[in-house]
Amino acid sequence: MLPSPPSPSLQALCALIAQHCVQSRTTTAIPRVSLVRSDTPTLPVGVVYQPMLCIVAQGAKRALLGDTIVEYRAGQYLVVSVDLPITGAVVQARPDAPYLAVSLALDPAVLAEMLLTLPGPPPGAPPQGLAVSPAPPDLLDAALRLLRLLDTPAQIPMLAPLVEREILYRLLTGAQAPMLRQIAMAHSHLAHVSRAIGWIRSHFAEPLRIDAVAQQVHMTASTFHRHFKAVTAMSPLQYQKQIRLQEARRLLLAGQADAASIGFAVGYESPSQFSREYARMFGQPPLRDAVRLRSMGPLLEV
C-alpha cells in the first residue's frame, strides 16, 4: 500500500519553509522560531538540543540520546524539555524532497503563566527529556499561520505572540502535555533536573561531585541520580563527558588552540585520555575529526 499523501497544511508548511530557509538553518524574524533544511542525508553530528518544539514537514531525522534512538519524520513533532547532548543525522532527504523542519524555542515562563488558566491538576507522569508524537491538524494549522507571518513582517510583533500561545496551548492539551507541564512547574522533578543540568553545563570543566549538585537542587543523591537518568538517558557523569567533548569539538572547529590545550581547557588531565574518549564518541581523533567536519559545511541542530 502506498503511503497517504501529506495533508494540505503539511504541504503548505513545506512550501513556506523551502521559501524562507536560505541555508541549512535560518533564524527568522519571528522570535524563537528557526527553520531547518537539508537536501541530502547527513553524517551523525553531536549538538546540544535546548528546550524546544520541532515540527518536521518533510523528510526524517534520527537522534541518539545515550543508548536511546529516536526517529522523527514528516507529520510528527519532537519536544525537548531540557538541554540534551544529542547525536543527530538526517536520514531521509534528497534535492527534490529535502528535509524541512520548523523549531520553536520553549519559554518556561510563558508555559507557567498559561498553566494558571488551564483546568486540572498537574499530572504525575515521570519526567522525560525528549518525546515524539504525531502532529494533530490543529497544531499544524497554528504552525502554518505562524510561518505565514514571514510574508507580512509588519504583523509579526502583534500576531506572532498570539499564535505562539495557541501552539503552546495545543501542546499543553496534547499527547506531550505531562512533559510540558513538568517544564513549567518550578518544583517538579524535571525542573530540578533542569537546574542541575544548567549547573553542570556552566561548570563542565570542573570535577563533578554528585552529592553537591543534588544538594543544590534539594534532592538526595540517589533520587537525583534516578531522575537525572530518567530525563537524560545517561548518568550525570556521562552527561558531563558529552558536554565536555562537544565543547572540545566546537573549539577545534573554531581553530582556537591545539588538541592537547583544548583537552585541558574542557577538564581533561591527560591528552591521551582526551584523545581516546573523543575518538570513542566521534569516531576519529580530534584533529582528523575537525578536518572532516570543516569539509561538511554548516551543521544541522534539529
What does the pLDDT read at residue 2? 46
The reported pLDDT for the residue numbered 123 is 56
278 inside domain: no
| Residue 132 maps to a domain | yes
Alpha helices in the chain (DSSP H): 8-20, 108-115, 137-148, 156-172, 177-184, 189-202, 210-216, 221-232, 236-254, 259-265, 271-282, 286-294
Within-domain flag for 218: no
Other CB atoms within 10 Å distance of the CB of residue 162: 10
Residue 293 lies inside a defined structural domain of this protein: no
Is residue 12 one of the residues assigned to a domain? yes
pLDDT in tens for each of the 302 residues of the chain?
445 677 899 999 999 999 999 778 899 999 999 999 999 999 888 889 999 999 999 999 999 988 889 999 999 999 999 999 998 999 999 999 999 999 999 988 888 888 888 876 555 556 678 999 999 999 999 999 999 999 999 999 999 999 999 999 999 989 888 888 888 776 778 888 999 999 999 999 999 999 999 998 889 999 999 989 988 989 999 999 999 999 999 898 888 678 889 999 999 999 999 999 999 988 889 988 888 877 766 555 66
Burial group, residue 77, by CB count within 10 angstroms (0-12, 13-18, 19+): buried
CA distance to 9, 148, 150, per residue, from 145 (Å): 10, 5, 10
3-state helix, strand, coil in the chain (%, to 5): 50, 20, 30
C-alpha to C-alpha distance for 10 and 5, rounded to whole angstroms:
10
- With H, G, I as helix, E, B as strand and everything else as coil, classify residue 83: coil
Cα gap 177→170, rounded to integer Å: 9
- Is the pTM higher than 0.85? The answer reads yes
What is the per-residue pLDDT for 4? Answer: 66
The span from the CA of 160 to the CA of 147, in Å, is 9
Which pLDDT belongs to residue 34? 96
Instruction: Judge whether 144 lies within some domain.
Output: yes
CATH number for position 105: 2.60.120.10
In a domain, 242, yes or no: no
The number of folded domains in the chain is: 1
Q: 81 in a domain, yes or no?
A: yes
